[in-house]
């Protein structure tokens, strides 16, 4: 077993003096997070303890085993934001974006919007399965237990489930939420199985809680391997020797870039299956770092805008902007060293001039050449970037990547003097929405 590879030297363009200064500034925060490990879920850093909570892991797996015995054909995950982005990211990374089309296993649909057309499509699939006499499992996830979109979708899908399984519908529902939330209490009344998200674990940090692990366990992901990967990297991520700590080095590079006027962080993923990992990170950074006030209550409007690009596709959509446009970005390239399959361009003289030097060459070799070419072009243009290389696309390394990024954001929040654990402005739209609906 080995760790993912992180590189920043000579490419993130952080002067040695700034690296040292920011490293000294960050050291006390690293020690605070280390000190939070024995405290369980008592501190704002609670999520770092999820990967070692064996009691929770056992309970999640037990519920998954119980619900698998119902032999559901479809899993519908009803949640939004941190309640489903983590599970979606891991599932797509390991099972692929075409999973539902190619697999005979339990299919999954993510009900993460109140777009009526989209939700109706999921309802159509669900109704067809229920009409055929098969089962559907609903997983309702809401950290607060009262999210408007989740509540609306849950009631729609529950009504359909009750129509086809009026006597025992409760067996086909799992609720995942804070203890004693509205959803928790409704689940108790309805006899749904409930799994708890620890109070101090925020939604965007909850991928290693039941919010992420239960759907993944249902879908055949080896959650033990995922957690092992996260645990494996933890000593490096909490190392007070900055040069050995990839999360600290990444946070320092991002903080330096922000202070140098680079307010956009692009995560450039050279694997289609990792796109949802980018979207998960987009929420993690957006909600954690975009803040109106600093820790002292001073108005600052701090924020780094996270964007997601997929290679090599987006080299042909936004590559021109990235390399020729405003110098307001820092990039993290994420690549996979060993792809799961090998495909080679065939040799055919008729197509010898259709592309140069590509016949009898593997697609992975072509991709590697593109990645090297892009990074060389960035270097020549003095565009700052970092590189994360996963040895392979497995649960072990995806677990490492997610843990790395969550701790990176904790460090970055400290360096920018904001609270990376709250999201007060998100509540603004929620409250306005509730008032509008109440008046209608």
Active site residues: 287, 316, 430
- Taking CA atoms, 426 is separated from 147, 283, 408, 422, in Å, by 11, 12, 22, 9
Angle among Cα 272, 83, 302 to the nearest 5 degrees reads 80
CA 155 from chain centre, in angstroms, equals 26
Angle among Cα 91, 210, 200 to the nearest 5 degrees reads 125
Alpha helices, DSSP H only, in 80-205? 85-95, 99-102, 116-131, 148-164, 182-190
Specify the pairing of strand 264-269 against strand 329-338.
Answer: parallel
Let me know if 343 is exposed, middle or buried by CB neighbors in 10 A (0-12, 13-18, 19+): exposed
Specify the pairing of strand 173-177 against strand 193-196.
Answer: parallel
Check: CB of residue 419 under 8 Å from CB of residue 295. Answer: yes
Specify the pairing of strand 135-142 against strand 72-78.
Answer: parallel
| CA-closest candidate to residue 362, choices 338, 337, 343 | 343
The three-class DSSP label of residue 165 is coil
| CA-closest candidate to residue 171, choices 145, 151, 192 | 192
Question: Distance (Å, rounded) from C-alpha 284 to C-alpha 388?
Answer: 17
Check: CB of residue 123 under 8 Å from CB of residue 139. Answer: no
Angle of helix 16-36 relative to helix 246-259, nearest 10 degrees?
130
């Amino acid at each position: 077993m080995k760790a993912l590879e992180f590189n920043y030297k000579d490419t993130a363009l952080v002067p040695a003096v700034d690296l040292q200064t920011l490293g000294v500034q960050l050291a006390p925060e690293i020690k605070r997070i280390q000190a939070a490990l024995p405290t369980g879920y008592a501190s704002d850093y609670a999520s770092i303890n999820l990967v070692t909570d064996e009691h929770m892991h056992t309970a999640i797996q037990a519920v998954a085993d119980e619900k698998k015995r119902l032999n559901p054909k479809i899993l519908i995950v009803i949640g939004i934001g941190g309640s489903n982005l983590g599970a979606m990211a891991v599932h797509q990374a390991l099972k692929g974006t075409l999973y539902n089309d190619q697999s005979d296993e339990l299919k999954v649909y993510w009900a993460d919007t109140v777009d009526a057309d989209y939700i109706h499509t999921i309802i159509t699939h669900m109704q067809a399965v229920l009409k055929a006499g098969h089962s559907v499992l609903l997983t309702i996830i809401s950290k607060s237990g009262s999210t408007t979109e989740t509540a609306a979708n849950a009631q729609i899908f529950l009504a359909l489930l009750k129509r086809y399984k009026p006597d025992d519908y409760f067996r086909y529902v799992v609720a995942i939420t804070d203890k004693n939330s509205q959803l928790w209490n409704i689940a108790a009344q309805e006899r749904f199985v409930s799994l708890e998200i620890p109070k101090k674990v925020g939604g965007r940090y909850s991928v290693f809680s039941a919010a992420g692990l239960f759907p993944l366990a249902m879908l055949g992901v080896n959650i033990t391997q995922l957690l092992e990967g996260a645990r494996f990297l933890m000593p490096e991520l909490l190392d007070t020797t900055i040069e050995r700590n990839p999360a600290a080095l990444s946070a320092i590079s991002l903080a330096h870039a922000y202070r140098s006027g680079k307010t956009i962080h692009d995560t450039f993923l050279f694997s289609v299956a990792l796109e949802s990992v980018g979207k998960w990170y987009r929420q993690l950074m957006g909600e954690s770092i975009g803040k109106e006030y600093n820790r002292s209550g001073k108005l600052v409007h701090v924020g780094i805008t996270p964007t997601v690009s997929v290679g090599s596709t987006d080299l042909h959509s936004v590559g021109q902007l990235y390399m020729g446009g405003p110098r307001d970005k820092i990039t993290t390239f994420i690549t996979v060293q060993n792809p799961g399959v090998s495909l080679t361009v065939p040799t055919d003289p008729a197509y010898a001039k259709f592309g140069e030097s590509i016949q009898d060459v593997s697609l992975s070799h072509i991709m590697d050449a593109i990645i090297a070419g892009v990074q060389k072009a960035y270097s020549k243009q003095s565009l700052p970037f970092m590189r994360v290389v996963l040895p392979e696309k497995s649960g072990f390394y995806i677990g490492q990547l997610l843990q790395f990024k969550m701790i990176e954001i904790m460090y970055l929040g400290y360096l920018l003097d904001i609270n990376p654990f709250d999201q007060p402005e998100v509540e603004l739209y929620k409250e306005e929405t509730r008032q509008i609906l109440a008046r209608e």
